[in-house]
Structure 1
Amino acid sequence: MNGLLSGQVALVTGAGGGIGRGIALRFAEQGAAAVVLHCRTAVAAADEVAARVRESGARSVVLRAELTDEDECRALVREAAEFGGGRLTALVNNAAVQPTRALPGMTAAEWRAVVDTNLTSVFACTQAAAEIMREQGAGSVTHIASIEASAPAPLHAHYSASKAAVVMHARSAALEYGPYGIRVNTVSPGLIDRDGLGEAWPEGVRRWREAAPTGRLGRPEDVGDACVFLASSLATWVTGHDLVVDGGVSARPTW
């Protein structure tokens, strides 16, 4: 189906990375009028994505912001809406970090760095976007969570906890913003392929392929397709939902 997002104005955070790129391009391909791309430092990569978005027929701009700063989150959302002519119909909270650190030696500063980037930014950006969407009478917010929200991995305690909280934030936001026509959901990806992953982590990639009923890693566009669905008119009665996109890995028994 084409044109599912015809006329929409979307903001995608962390759009310089692989998943963010896949989301932004899918939004443009499905007819979004404008796709605003956020990045913190990956300006060159985000500029490349913006060029590809424009090739698909959508307007695009790259905006920089430090999402651990509440004021910058609010400014980002405001500037995105200004670029969209005063409108913002879809927000995808994708920006995140995923460092590895053993829990016994983790410092509070390391914990906060992950939680502030992955969770507090979601709270601030959603709150700012909801103010605009409430005036419009409708809007869609999608958080990118992770299957690690329910199945933690070693060395990822801070990451897994932040993503579990993101899922619950979406459910809470769906409850409180629903009366204003604002839907809030999460997409929980499994292992998404990227350049060099097979060489850097061959054993992990092999194990994933063996575990996945579909026999492959995810692609950024797989996550993008899920986000398109949730932002489209096909999902007008879907809110507070966590859409798992993992090739079936979560369906495997653990015993």
Structure 2
Amino acid sequence: MRLLEGQVALVTGAGGGIGRGIALRFAEQGASVAVYCRTAVAAAREVASRIGDMGARAVVLEADLRDEEGCHRLVREAAEWGEGLTSLVNNAGVQPTRPLPGMPAEEWRAVVDTNLTSVFACTQAAAEVMRAGGSVTHIASIEASRPAPGHAHYSAAKAAVVMHARAAALEYGPHGIRVNTVSPGLIDREGLARDWPEGTERWVRKAPLARLGRPQDVADACVFLASPLASWITGHDLVVDGGMSARPTW
């Protein structure tokens, strides 16, 4: 039996990159997948089409997760489509670069609302429709504990995402709903080595497993946390970084 047979999952930010990998892996493992996007509609439809080619069910849903009601409507539509909701993966987010000195509060709020407030609202909405055994996974980042220059707003939001999962695990646990985070390291994408050659070379040279991450690496962690194999795991941050966090910082 596939690990997610019979599940209904909502994956936000599933139009490309990590989200695409998660949506496809969930379908491969037997889940019906609601694919969320805000702007990358064509990419989300391509993901849904690939899921259909596997013989699995998929639907594309659109919303603005910067709006609380948009989050609740998205979750309701996914649950109505799937006749229930068993898994939510909060993957949607943005990662702009801006030095902290002189950063406008408007830009700070935009990152926090997209990366954190949407997680709060979608999780709250999902918990209202999930039964015992439901799973929520937030995509955080190793930058939640290891900030990078120009990423103060992103790192702060991701650190809060990790703590939100722990708090939600505590409060939703009595209802049988598990909440965890996955914290990826540097994940490869098309053109990354060309756009940031010194960064990718430095990562590969220093990472114990000597390669960049792949979307599938993050997806596999999410499948595990949503599966019965993780039925006694909640409030946990699963780091997927090829061992980079094990390196000394001095």
3-state SS in 2 of match to 1:164? helix
Partner of 2:160: 165
Consecutive unaligned residues in structure 1, runs of 5 or more: none
Partner of 1:10: 9
Partner of 1:252: 247
Work out whether 1:141 is the aligned partner of 2:136.
yes
Partner of 1:40: 38
Structure 1 Cα separation of the partners of residues 228 and 163 of structure 2: 24
Aligned counterparts, 1:150-189, within 5 A: 150-189=145-184
Q: Which amino acid aligns with 2:29?
A: Q
Q: Which amino acid aligns with 2:25?
A: R
- TM-superposed CA distance for 1:105, in Å, is 1.2
3-state SS in 2 of match to 1:126? helix
Work out whether 1:58 is the aligned partner of 2:53.
no
Q: Could you say what the CA RMSD is over the residues aligned between the two structures, in angstroms?
A: 0.6
Normalising by structure 1, we get a TM-score of 0.97
TM-superposition CA deviations, 1:147-176 (whole Å, max 9, x none): 000000000000000000000000000000
Which of 111, 116, 121 is the equivalent residue of 1:119? 116
Q: Which amino acid aligns with 1:111?
A: W
Partner of 1:196: 191
- TM-superposed CA distance for 1:57, in Å, is 2.0
- TM-superposed CA distance for 1:13, in Å, is 0.2
Which of 92, 111, 124 is the equivalent residue of 2:89? 92
Q: Which amino acid aligns with 1:21?
A: R
Structure 2 Cα separation of the partners of residues 57 and 99 of structure 1: 37
Partner of 1:221: 216
Q: Which amino acid aligns with 1:54?
A: G
Q: Which amino acid aligns with 2:169?
A: A
3-state SS in 2 of match to 1:105? coil
Partner of 1:205: 200
Structure 2 Cα separation of the partners of residues 19 and 53 of structure 1: 15
Q: Which amino acid aligns with 1:9?
A: V
Number of residue-to-residue matches in the alignment: 250
Q: Percent identity?
A: 78
Structure 2 Cα separation of the partners of residues 183 and 56 of structure 1: 28
Q: Which amino acid aligns with 1:6?
A: E
Structure 1 Cα separation of the partners of residues 221 and 116 of structure 2: 20
After the TM superposition, which segments of 4 or more aligned residues of structure 1 sit over 4 Å from their partners?
none
Structure 2 Cα separation of the partners of residues 46 and 89 of structure 1: 21
- TM-superposed CA distance for 1:8, in Å, is 0.1
Work out whether 1:71 is the aligned partner of 2:73.
no
Structure 1 Cα separation of the partners of residues 224 and 55 of structure 2: 20
- TM-superposed CA distance for 1:127, in Å, is 0.1
TM-superposition CA deviations, 1:208-232 (whole Å, max 9, x none): 0011111100000100000000000
3-state SS in 2 of match to 1:240? coil
- TM-superposed CA distance for 1:58, in Å, is 1.4
3-state SS in 2 of match to 1:103? coil
Partner of 2:80: 82
Structure 2 Cα separation of the partners of residues 56 and 213 of structure 1: 35
Structure 1 Cα separation of the partners of residues 195 and 128 of structure 2: 43
Partner of 2:107: 110
3-state SS in 2 of match to 1:104? coil
3-state SS in 2 of match to 1:142? strand
- TM-superposed CA distance for 1:36, in Å, is 0.2
Partner of 1:31: 30
